[in-house]
A and B are shown apart, each in its own frame.
Chain A
Amino acid sequence: MAVPTYAGPLERIWYYTFRVLCGLIFFFLIAPILIMVPLSFNVEPYFTYTREMLMLNPEGYSLRWYQDLFTSESWLTSIKNSMIIGVSSTIVATFLGTLAALGLSRSEMPFKGLFMGLLISPMIVPLIISAAGMFFFYSSIGLANTMPGVILAHAALGTPFVVITVTATLVGFDHSLTRASASLGAGAGRTFFKIQMPLILPGVISGALFAFITSFDEIVIVLFVAGVEQRTIPREMWSGIREQISPTILAVASILVAFSILLLTTVELLRRRSERLRGMSPG
């Protein structure tokens, strides 16, 4: 959208004003996240840029908050817990979600709308309500304050993402491929693993990543269902922000930003690969 040669002066002014305006909005989106990263290297326990930092004086910077983080018992436990809960709930969610998406995408599936609504409900219901409901239920069956309880709760929250992404990859799936495979003598299992699986794999993986990040970033359920033993990274940050806010939180936050860049790149690459495989867009 370059300025057309016939544009009048007013249009030119508007064109540049609009660009600047958009630039400011993009700045609003990204700046808060990036501004925090250098502060995590602050030598002082402040949340603002010191004179030394602005002068780029190396004495204004230090790794002490990262050191704090990796020597603190409670932070290390929370990292471990987050990983265990994230990975386990992702496995459960991906397995159940992929199966359900395969069923939902079949043309013979009855009451598709109703089932879809039920299956994605964990994404729609406000977290505080899910958390309250699960708190009563998990307490009554003795799963509150246990690792399996948190894993099962997070798995339920993650399934809609898997269902949605896998269903999306199955849209436009060419069913003559499976018929061709069957007519060539392959059994149902072989057809699935050799033909369908490779095609829906990008969807399954990005669904799994969504499920993982949902669990990894989830705090409301953890506040209600988990006990002290199952403290996760967000739970630790939550109490850090409420009780004694120290730059260690910024160190954690910076690492999480790096982590989200990694996840974003992976999902984006997978999406493009999936679209290319299904021939939907050139790249």
Chain B
Amino acid sequence: MTQIDGTPNGSDNDHKVNGQMVTVDGTPLKASLKRAERKRTLIAFLLVAPLLTYLLISFIFPIGQMMWRSVDNPQLVSVLPKTLEALQDWDGEGIPDEPVFEALAQELTVASANRTIGRVAVRLNYEISAARGALMRTSRSAEDMEPPYKEAFLDAHRLWNETEFYRIIKREGRPLTASYYVAAFDGTYNEDGEIVMQDENRRIYIDLFIRTFSMSLGITLLTLLLGFPISFLMASLPMRKANLLMIFVLLPFWTSLLVRTTSWIVLLQQQGVINELLIFLGVIGEDGRLGMIYNMTGTIIAMTHILLPFMVLPLYSVMKTIPPSYVRAAKSLGATPWTAFWRIYVPQTLPGIGAGAVLVFIISIGYYITPALVGGQSGQMISNLIAYHMQTSLNWGLAAALGSVLLISVLILYWVYNRLVGADSLKLG
């Protein structure tokens, strides 16, 4: 709105009525301009609207819906409402009284008949491992139970004799839950319902977050270490030669991710090219073959190779704009080549280093394919566990909680990236 086109000359007396400027048809100029501007804003917005709508529906809404799953807790509330109401009067000590069991027997019978019990059983099993068996077995016999229901339940399964179980039912009988996030940070609930850390040997996720972050950091540093010299070289060469060398960076960038991963398998595996070469050269013996893949080393090597172009492209574009005269000036003023490089040149490359580093880091903390294919056990990252909970364990709430933590970390990093370079300056190819 900074630019208004075709503003008429103010001294043009023909278009002035009562000291106010008007257009040919007599409307005040101000209103007319405003209308034109509104129309142009509308057109601009209408051009963006189709894609925006499309992405809101097919991309942003689904992700929001998935994140909602990390706190959504509808199973108990929908299937056992009366039981939960009766449990409100229970003080959390010992075994609840008869009314709870009466409601429970009634609702389990219904749930067993319309097969909604499975959802509740699976949900409670995330919290305590025998819950599925207890509920499935009890619900089958619930129909034939007779008062007093309490006794009948206590006989039906050992879990019904444990105060812990009722506490869990009461806690998870709310429409929203924090338990997936508690699990995602290796927490658990103690007897008093307070959140505490899991036993040492059952902690998985915090280690995995730390591993994911430290691997990503390592990969970022490696790409910087390898990317800086070649960007520097290309920036100091004449255009023609630099463009030629750029092919070495762009070809991997354009090559299929799976192709690059495959080629690292070919190179690094036990019977692979590098091991055979080392044996041929006599560096290692036949039984000394190096295990360079299906572990963390393999993941780091392959991902460094895959992400190196993302470091080189922003670095190179910044270095290209640095005038060589500053370094020359420093040298002529008596700086050693090292001082000139470190004190004068490097600070000028910082925007490029920052942009490249954040970009590589963002991409690597969400990486899935390469760790899944070459990571083995020790090279798995957080994405792999999200996929595991999505596809194998089917604990979608936990997958959603882990995913939300990952997504929020990425968004914060992206915000930092945006502050450093601005999203508009994202360059491709």
**A-side interface residues toward B, CB under 8 Å?**
1, 11, 14, 18-19, 21-22, 25-26, 28-30, 32-33, 35-36, 39, 46-49, 96-97, 99-100, 102-104, 106-110, 113, 115-122, 124-130, 132-138, 152-153, 155-156, 159, 161, 163-165, 167-168, 179, 206, 210, 213, 216-217, 219-220, 223-224, 234, 237-238, 241-242, 245, 249-250, 253, 256-257, 260-261, 263-264, 267-268, 271
Contacts and interface: CB of A to CB of B under 8 A. Distances in A.
Nearest to A18: B229
A220 B264 CA distance: 20
Contacts of B424: 116, 167
B48 A107 contact: no
Given A49-B276, A135-B390, A219-B369, A122 B59 contact: yes
B429 interface: yes
B43 A253 contact: no
Interface stretch (B108-116, B202-210, B407-415): B407-415
B251 A264 contact: yes
A11 B414 CA distance: 41
Report, as a range, how many residues of chain B touch the other chain: 35 or more
Contacts, number: 271
Nearest to B47: A103
Contacts of A224: 390-391
Given A46-B271, A132-B390, A237-B262, A119 B52 contact: yes
B410 A125 contact: yes
Contacts of A134: 58-59, 62
A179 B249 CA distance: 41
A118 B55 CA distance: 8
Contacts of B1: 107-108
Which of B37, B63, B387 is packed against the most chain A CB atoms within 10 Å? B63
B246 to A, nearest CB: 9
Contacts of B226: 25, 28
B407 A33 contact: no
B428 interface: yes
Closest 3 CB pairs of A and B: A126-B366, A103-B47, A137-B62
A137 B305 contact: no
B48 A104 contact: yes
B51 A126 contact: no
B256 interface: yes
B283 interface: no
Given A96-B51, A234-B256, 16 more contacts: A19-B233, A25-B226, A26-B245, A29-B252, A29-B308, A32-B260, A100-B51, A104-B47, A108-B44, A125-B63, A126-B410, A128-B383, A129-B366, A137-B58, A164-B426, A253-B262
Contacts of B273: 35, 39, 47-49
B423 interface: yes
